[in-house]
Amino acid sequence: MNILQKAVATGVKTIPRNGFMRHSSHFVYQPDAKPPVDGPTQKMNMFQAINQAMDIALEQNESALVFGEDVAFGGVFRCSMGLQKKYGKQRVFNTPLCEQGIAGFAIGVANTGAKAIAEMQFADYIFPAFDQIVNEAAKYRYRSGNLYDCGSLTFRAPCGAVGHGACYHSQSPEAYFAHTPGLKVVVPRGPNKAKGLLLACVKDNDPCIVFEPKTLYRAAVEEVPVAAFESPIGKADVLRVGTDVTLVGWGTQIHVLQEVATMAKKQLDVSCEVIDLVSILPWDKETICNSVKKTGRVLIAHEAPLTSGFGAELAATIQEECFLHLESPVLRVTGWDTPFPHVFEPFYIPDKHRCLAGIRKLIDF
C-alpha cells in the first residue's frame, strides 16, 4: 500500500498541491444518552462543564483555590474563564511557569485543609512535577501514619491528541501515575463525566489527577445538570451491551470504539460491548472481567504507546482472571512506541480502521 492509498484508507483527504491534508478529528462524538441525575439541565461543551464544576467548588468551599499558569484570564482552553472576577485574586490566580512549584504549593495548601484545584497547562508539562506528585502527595498519608494527608488536592491536565499538537502537546501520561499507590486518576469522555468526576475529586480524601482530553473541550456537547453531582471514582460505564467482543477504552478513544462497534455490527455482524473505563486508578476489574467472561474476546484501545501503556495492566489482569473464558488472545490497539508525531498523527492514533481490523483478527483467531 503506497502513502496515497494509506491516506485514503485512514480517512485523510488528498489535495493536489501539498500531497495530503489531515482531518483534525479522528472520531465522531457520542453524547451520553441521558443526564446522570434528574433536574434542570443546560447545554454545555466540556470546558463549560468544567468551569461550572470549579464554580460550584469555589462557591461551596470558602477554602477552595484555583491556580495555575494563565488561569486568571481563563486559561489556554478557557476552563477557568470568569472565576477570578467572581471570587477574587486571592482564590483564583496565576502561578509562575514552574510545574514543580505549582505541585509543591498545591500539596502544602491542601495539607493545611484547603481544597486545591491546580491546573497543569498541558499533561505533557506535568513531568517536572512528577517527583512532587508521586513522592510527596501520594505518600503523605502513609508516611505520616495518617496524621497528615493531601486530600482535597486535584490536578487538572489537558491530554491526548488534538490534530496538531505534536510531541509536546499530545501525550497521554496516565500509565506513569497509575503505578503510584495513593493517587487516583480519572479521564472523562464528555461534559457530564468531566463535571461529575471533577467534583468527586475535589471532595475525595486522596490526591487526584483528572486528565482531560483536550480535543473534547469544544467537540463534546451534552445536556448537563445545573446542580452539583458527583460521578463515582473507580467505576466503569457499560455504554453498549454486546455478546461477541468487549471493547475497552477511555477518554476520546471511547467515541472511536462506539463508532467501531456500529461498523462491526454492520460489516461483520459482530456484537460489541463497549466499556468506558473512566477511572484508571482505581480501575473497575469486576465490570471488565464480567464482560470478558461473557464475550470471550477483548480489544483494549488507548492513544498512549503500546509498551507499558495502561492497557497492559488490563490485559494481564484479564489473562489471570478470565483465561479459561477467552476465545482469542487479548488484543491492544494503541499509539506506536515512538514520540507523538505531527504530520503523521493520523497514522499514529488508534483510529476506527485499526480497531475494526483488530476486531476482525479476534473473530478470525
Query: What pLDDT shows up at residue 126?
Result: 98
d(CA 115, CA 65): 6
> Same domain for 265 and 220?
no
Mean pLDDT of the 285-305 span: 98
The domain tally of the chain equals 2
Least confident of 14-28, 108-122, 196-210, 219-233: 14-28
Residue 2 lies in a domain: no
Which pLDDT belongs to residue 24?
Answer: 53
Which pLDDT score is estimated for 79? 98
Answer yes or no: do 194 and 220 share one domain.
Answer: yes
What are the cell numbers at 4? 496515497
What local confidence, expressed as pLDDT, does residue 281 receive?
Answer: 98
Alpha carbon distance 176, 159 (integer Å): 13
Mean pLDDT across 6-11: 40
> Residue 5: is its pLDDT beyond 60?
no
Q: Over 90: is that where the pLDDT of 15 sits? A: no
User: 161 and 102 share a domain?
Assistant: yes
In this structure, the answer to whether residues 113 and 207 fall within a common structural domain is yes
20 lies in a domain?
no
DSSP state of 341: P
Q: What is the pLDDT of residue 25?
A: 76
Q: What is the pLDDT of residue 16?
A: 39
Query: Of 196, 225, 254, which residue sits at a domain end?
Result: 225
Where among 175, 204, 225 does a domain terminate? 225
Average model confidence (pLDDT) across the chain: 93
Q: Check whether residue 220 and residue 182 sit in a common domain.
A: yes
> Residue 167 is part of a domain; what is its CATH number?
3.40.50.970
pLDDT band at 7 (very low <50, low <70, confident <90, very high): very low
Q: Can you tell me the distance from the alpha carbon of 207 to that of 21, in angstroms, rounded to the nearest whole number?
A: 42
Q: Give the pLDDT of residue 152.
A: 87
Amino acid sitting at position 311:
G
Q: Is residue 210 part of a domain?
A: yes
Q: Residue 238's beta-bridge partner residues?
A: 275
CATH number at 331 reads: 3.40.50.920
Residue 231 domain-assigned (yes or no): no
Q: Which of 205, 225, 245 is the last residue of a domain?
A: 225
For the entire predicted model, the pTM comes to 0.93
Of 248, 349, 342, 260, nearest to 306 by C-alpha is: 349
Q: Tell me: do 307 and 177 sit in the same domain.
A: no
Q: Are residues 207 and 241 in the same domain?
A: no
Across residues 267-282, what is the average pLDDT? 98
% of the chain with per-residue pLDDT over 90: 91
Residue 325 lies in a domain: yes
Collapsed DSSP state (helix, strand, coil) of residue 363: helix
Judge if 251 and 358 occupy the same domain.
yes
Mean pLDDT calculated for residue range 243-253: 98
280 in the same domain as 154: no
Alpha helix stretches (DSSP H) within 163-304: 174-178, 191-203, 216-219, 253-268, 285-295
Please compute, for residue 138, the number of CA atoms within 13 A of its CA located in the half-sphere on the CB side. Answer: 18
**For 125-169, what is each residue's pLDDT tens digit?**
999 999 999 999 999 999 999 998 888 899 999 999 998 899 999
Supply the pLDDT for residue 11. 41
Give the pLDDT score at 18.
Answer: 42
Task: Tell me how many degrees the CA angle 172-178-184 measures, rounded to the nearest 5.
Answer: 100
Q: Which strand (E) or helix (H) includes residue 184?
A: strand 184-186
Neighbours of 80 (CB within 10 A): 25
Which is nearest to 270 in space by CA: 280, 279, 278, 260? 260
Structural domain including 248 reads: 237-364
Instruction: Tell me if 345 is assigned to some domain.
Output: yes
The answer on pLDDT for 23 being more than 80 is no
Give pLDDT, residue 4: 34
Give catalytic residue positions. 99, 169
With a cut of 70, say whether residue 22 has pLDDT above it: no
